[in-house]
Amino acid sequence: MRRIIPLVSIGFCGLQAASMASPPSTTTSFSEMPGAVFVDLVSPSSSAPLGPFLIDVGGVAVTVTSSYSIDGSSPFYMGWFDFSTWSLRVPNDPAIDPGSWDGYYQSINHVTAGNVVLDFDPPIRGFGMTVMQEWANGNGSEADTLSAFDAPGGTGNLIGSITTRPRPEVRFWCELDFVGILSGDGPAIHSVTIAAGPPGEIGRLYLDGIALLGAGGAPPCPADLSGSSDPNDPAYGQPDGAADSADFFYYLDQFAAGNLAVADLTGSADPNDPTYGVPDGTIDATDFFYFLDIFVAGCP
């Protein structure tokens, strides 16, 4: 028996009627972008343009073009990588970190080339990417930073930014990592930049795939985690477009189980803290209070 039912039922009186605007948010799991389309990228040669790509996103044809942030020239040229047969791979969950261990690769000089810029026409509501991090040659790739903007060419207002995990700590291993940005009910995403590695250094970008969420996709609702609170129900752990008691109890289950992929939501409970909404690798009270914040906000 759940002892906190009386307390929760009081809160639900207001929560189910809530219709607050959803703020921009970030995610480290593709499953938290319901309705998004994942495109597995494969580079055709050792020097190939990154796009343009024409992608059907919820019935809307979105054109994705690339350019260099230093001079704005287009497209951004990259080579290829293929680690699909590499034996030292950290197993990935396709629902969290989708990818095929191959795609576009480039060693990027930040001084001469800058960052990769992707533009979207029409603009989208969410963007994510899967990158590969490796230490195959002893000095491997460092963390990459994804930033989204409300104007083309990586200009305008910053909507959100998130950094991937760095290379694996174990020499010669590689792993996939997905990160994404949702615009919420604010301005749509017109462009993103991808910064490979630390500023001022030669960065290595292994771009395995990209995810797009458009106006035709499901509206972002970070508190929508489950259609049922019963672990034996097929809807358990499957978003259903509403934030209700099923989501609350599902989160409690994952919190108690120590499931980092679901329960690790933030590094701070203070909305003014830079780590608010950024997972920090631990599950504690800040994550619970953050979930309460997004739960109260409800779904659009």
Q: How many domains does the chain have?
A: 2
Distance CA(207)–CA(129), nearest Å, equals 7
* Tens of pLDDT, residues 98-143: 999 999 999 888 788 889 999 999 999 999 999 999 875 555 558 8
* Tens of pLDDT, residues 171-228: 788 999 999 999 987 789 999 999 997 776 788 899 999 999 986 444 567 898 998 9
| 273, 177: one domain | no
Q: What is the pLDDT of residue 18?
A: 43
Q: What is the pLDDT of residue 12?
A: 43
| 34, 177: one domain | yes
Choosing from 155, 185, 213, the residue where a domain stops is 213
| SS3 track for 25-68 | EEECCHHHCCCCEEEECCCCCCCEECCCEEEEECCEEEEEEEEE
**For 151, which DSSP code?**
E
Distance CA(100)–CA(203), nearest Å, equals 21
**H or E segment and range at residue 251:** helix 245-257
CATH assignment of the domain containing 91? 2.60.120
| 71, 168: one domain | yes
Query: Would you say residue 13 has pLDDT above 80?
Result: no
| Range of the structural domain that residue 226 is part of | 5-22+221-297
Dihedral sign for Cα 191, 195, 199, 201, please.
Answer: negative
| 203, 241: one domain | no
CB-count exposure of residue 132 (10 Å: 0-12, 13-18, 19+): buried
* Tens of pLDDT, residues 237-257: 887 778 899 999 999 999 999
| 174, 274: one domain | no
**For 273, which DSSP code?**
S
CA proximity to 8, closest of 243, 274, 173, 300: 243
Q: What is the pLDDT of residue 219?
A: 52
| pTM, two decimal places | 0.67
| 108, 234: one domain | no
| 191, 272: one domain | no
| 65, 109: one domain | yes
Distance CA(143)–CA(135), nearest Å, equals 12
Strand partners, 275: none
Number of helices and strands in the chain (H, E): 4, 14
| SS3 track for 264-291 | CCCCCCCCCCCCCCCCCCCCCHHHHHHH
Give the pLDDT mean for 165-169.
82
Choosing from 213, 235, 259, the residue where a domain stops is 213
Q: What is the pLDDT of residue 245?
A: 93
Residue 225: strand, helix, or coil: coil
**For 193, which DSSP code?**
E
| 49, 198: one domain | yes
Q: 30: pLDDT confidence band, cut at 50, 70 and 90? A: very high
Q: What is the pLDDT of residue 184?
A: 85
| 72, 170: one domain | yes
Give the pLDDT mean for 137-165.
87
Q: 21: pLDDT confidence band, cut at 50, 70 and 90? A: low
Give the pLDDT mean for 145-160.
95
Compute the mean pLDDT over every residue in the chain, rounded to the nearest whole number.
86
* Tens of pLDDT, residues 33-89: 988 999 999 998 889 999 999 999 988 899 999 999 998 899 999 999 999 999 999
Query: Would you say residue 14 has pLDDT above 80?
Result: no
Choosing from 195, 213, 231, the residue where a domain stops is 213
Q: How many residues does the chain have?
A: 300
Q: What is the pLDDT of residue 300?
A: 65
Distance CA(294)–CA(222), nearest Å, equals 7
